[in-house]
Structure 1
């Protein structure tokens, strides 16, 4: 089954196997290499990184959606391409130099951009694809989708934040089960474990995502973005430092147009009409 991105004609704006589609305040990033199960090579990662960097400073944006075309979300990094470019294997040391600027930068941006990021998963989400789903603020998956960390079954260690994200989401024991034993989870199981926001019947995936994106697109965007930052930073801070950050964010959000609209709407007993500013 084709993904939501195909319906919106992401292929028209596709470069390096990644389509960018702007729909009002929603930026849709579409993985568009179905023949490679949407594996991400260096050029694809650079395009997504560039899109997220631009989104971080775009005051008109309110939501970012990462979706895919074809039966799978993302089968991970394209190691075949990275090890055959130019007809020779990269020299020793190239992986640790490049990863920081490619896959690792991508995961960091998803967690740092002060916009809600929604990932839409159907089919397989493996390796880097799994981490994209973990890093997103809201991942909605088809119940039949599959999440897998294939690293050790291929003879190398995890990257793209797997060893940081998984223990924080499901604890050390289950994180080791996923990474060391290579257990595969269905979308339904991933939701039960608390790895993702929600799993829905396959036929309901697009409609469930549409409702979520509409809700986020109508929210108080500045407050949403700063709350996301507080939660993510708070994992590494003590209570005192976390509350200092809260005070800083409260100062900013209390000066927004959305804060004023929220007060007026409360007084008038009506739903707020937030502008995202």
Structure 2
């Protein structure tokens, strides 16, 4: 059942059976994001943080491509030299809010990648828990080819996804990854025939799961790289305490005793 539908400046937002779908739709520009679609995605994710109906997030792109990055041509159409500090002031209000929101959500995030996932588009994929790509997918960090330094968390995300050696190949050499190579590098979890349909199916599966436990587990995974073993064990104990108080935990135990599949409600 579709609970909500919003079409906002190149971003189609729907909430269906617990899955918040954020679908980029500006096919003339290969689904490049702009100020409006960035704001709309940030607003949707901020609302999702406190919306118990949202149990998973799905990221896709309409047509042949996922996302070709940020539309820097439109941003700089007026010409002229950027004022000192203008980029540093602007980024925290846009892409630098979006990526932390995705990484810190208390629900799983699934990305279905077709065609280009470039720049900010690649960052959206790297910030997701699961990335399903078809054989047309191409992942590329184009910053060095534009004479730019990386933004939107590219350095942080790439190092965690592929390690510092391969991150250098992505960010200093601008190497492109096709779907198979991206899977071999750990950027893509699975190469499929229909990325969007497969991603929708996986997001629905996650949305039917124990949302509290999934969110806490996601948080533990994302924090593990920066924690020592003992610190992480303490975090696991705290998370287990929280999840064991949830109705879904009790349902899971009842289902185990009754020898049936659990019917989780996301609480």
TM-score, shorter chain, exceeding 0.5: yes
1:229 aligns with 2:219: yes
Point out where structure 1 has 5 or more consecutive residues left out of the alignment. Answer: 1-7
Secondary structure of the residue that 2:76 maps to in structure 1?
helix
Stretch deviating more after TM superposition (258-267 or 178-187)? 178-187
Q: Distance in 2 between matches of 1:267 and 1:255?
A: 18
1:62 aligns with 2:55: yes
Q: CA deviation at 1:196?
A: 2.1
Aligned pairs for 1:145-184 within 5 A: 145-184=137-176
1:260 aligns with 2:253: no
Gap change, CA 1:64 and 1:228, over 3 Å in 2? same
Q: CA deviation at 1:13?
A: 3.0
Q: Distance in 2 between matches of 1:200 and 1:189?
A: 14
Q: Distance in 2 between matches of 1:64 and 1:171?
A: 26
Indicate which of 208, 231, 235 corresponds to 1:218: 208
- Indicate the residue corresponding to 1:4 in structure 2: none
Secondary structure of the residue that 1:66 maps to in structure 2?
strand
Query: Residues 38 and 75 of structure 1 are in contact (CA less than 8 Å); yes or no, is this contact kept in structure 2?
Result: yes
Indicate which of 17, 23, 28 corresponds to 2:10: 17
- Indicate the residue corresponding to 2:239 in structure 1: 249
Query: Residues 161 and 187 of structure 2 are in contact (CA less than 8 Å); yes or no, is this contact kept in structure 1?
Result: yes
Gap change, CA 1:207 and 1:16, over 3 Å in 2? closer
Q: Distance in 2 between matches of 1:198 and 1:172?
A: 22
- Indicate the residue corresponding to 2:28 in structure 1: 35
- Indicate the residue corresponding to 2:96 in structure 1: 104
Q: Distance in 2 between matches of 1:240 and 1:104?
A: 31
List per-residue Cα deviations over 1:116-173 (Å, max 9, x = no partner).
1111110100001001000011111112210001100110111111111112221222
Indicate which of 136, 143, 151 corresponds to 1:144: 136
Secondary structure of the residue that 2:77 maps to in structure 1?
helix
Query: Residues 208 and 264 of structure 2 are in contact (CA less than 8 Å); yes or no, is this contact kept in structure 1?
Result: yes
Query: Residues 19 and 55 of structure 2 are in contact (CA less than 8 Å); yes or no, is this contact kept in structure 1?
Result: yes
Q: CA deviation at 1:24?
A: 2.2
Q: Distance in 1 between matches of 2:54 and 2:133?
A: 24
Q: Distance in 1 between matches of 2:201 and 2:128?
A: 17
Gap change, CA 1:62 and 1:51, over 3 Å in 2? same
1:53 aligns with 2:46: yes
Name the Cα RMSD after superposition: 1.7
Q: Distance in 2 between matches of 1:141 and 1:116?
A: 17
Secondary structure of the residue that 1:100 maps to in structure 2?
helix
Q: CA deviation at 1:211?
A: 2.6
Aligned length: 265
Query: Residues 21 and 59 of structure 2 are in contact (CA less than 8 Å); yes or no, is this contact kept in structure 1?
Result: yes
Q: CA deviation at 1:105?
A: 1.1
Q: Distance in 1 between matches of 2:145 and 2:82?
A: 22
- Indicate the residue corresponding to 1:239 in structure 2: 229
Q: CA deviation at 1:81?
A: 1.7
